[in-house]
Amino acid sequence: MKKQLSAICIAAALTLTACSFGTGAESDSDSGEKTELTVFAAASLTDVFEDVAEEFKKENSDVSDVKFSFAGSSDLVSQISEGAPADVIATADEKNMDTLASDDLLAGEPQIFASNTLALAVPKGNPGKIETPKDFAGKDLVICAPQVPCGSATEKWADQNDVTLDPKSEENSVTDVLGKVSSGQADAGIVYVTDIPRGDGAVEMVDLEGADKVVNQYPAATVKASENQEAADAFVEFLGTDTAAKLLEDAGFATP
């Protein structure tokens, strides 16, 4: 009887010891801190970057979440210049990125990961019957403001093709231009080819002759003030992978 009691006690002690180690190991695992990245990105990247982030997290388990702030590139640059917290910046042109580089606000050299070209967005059915720039006359045309990459490219395209622009309004992001067209507030808007699918069927694309001569390069870089530089560098590097390239190409971007 005493032997049986001793055996039971020993077994119980071993069980408690095992439970104790198991609980301790689980606590160490649970206490591991994960990184949350904040990415400032050009408005034209809104949809595709959400998909890119999902794939990035699959390959980087130490990153719990990627949060985005999408806006016109010039607005994003201004925010970072004023101290807004961001880990990564991705702009729709090199000019705005160069502003951050010249102010020593970047960690490392920006990396080009995609490019984009202009297109004309019109409401579904093209009620304004706009087929060429000659049809702009008397129509409500919306474009991006000159400081926005889309707007700068639009001005360059107009100059190269001797097109006179008399826009109804100049917007701070390509998303705002798309919104004016898709809601019927404008007869046409100059956006990127990648923005047409973002119109969810409410807009159609009209090719702009000569637009292929005006190509915007998209660079990305780690922000110098980032507190998560290793993860930020990994995100910038991921944009150059085959996985990211496939997603970008499916969205209509060209990749290096």
Domains, in order of start, for the chain = 35-115+218-250 (3.40.190.10), 116-213 (3.40.190.10)
In the predicted model, what is the mean pLDDT of residues 122-140?
A: 96
Amino acid 73 reads S
Phi, psi of 80 (to 5 degrees): -65, -40
Q: What is the pLDDT of residue 33?
A: 78
Is pLDDT at 18 greater than 90 in this prediction?
no
Q: What is the pLDDT of residue 229?
A: 96
Tell me the pTM. 0.84
Q: What is the pLDDT of residue 5?
A: 42
* Euclidean distance between CA atoms 13 and 11, whole angstroms: 5
Is pLDDT at 234 greater than 70 in this prediction?
yes
* Cα 223-215-146 angle, rounded to 5 deg: 70
Q: DSSP label at 254? A: B
35-71 pLDDT, tens digit each: 999 999 999 999 999 999 999 999 999 999 999 999 9
Label residue 138 left, alpha or beta by phi (over 0 means left) and psi (-120 to 50 means alpha).
left
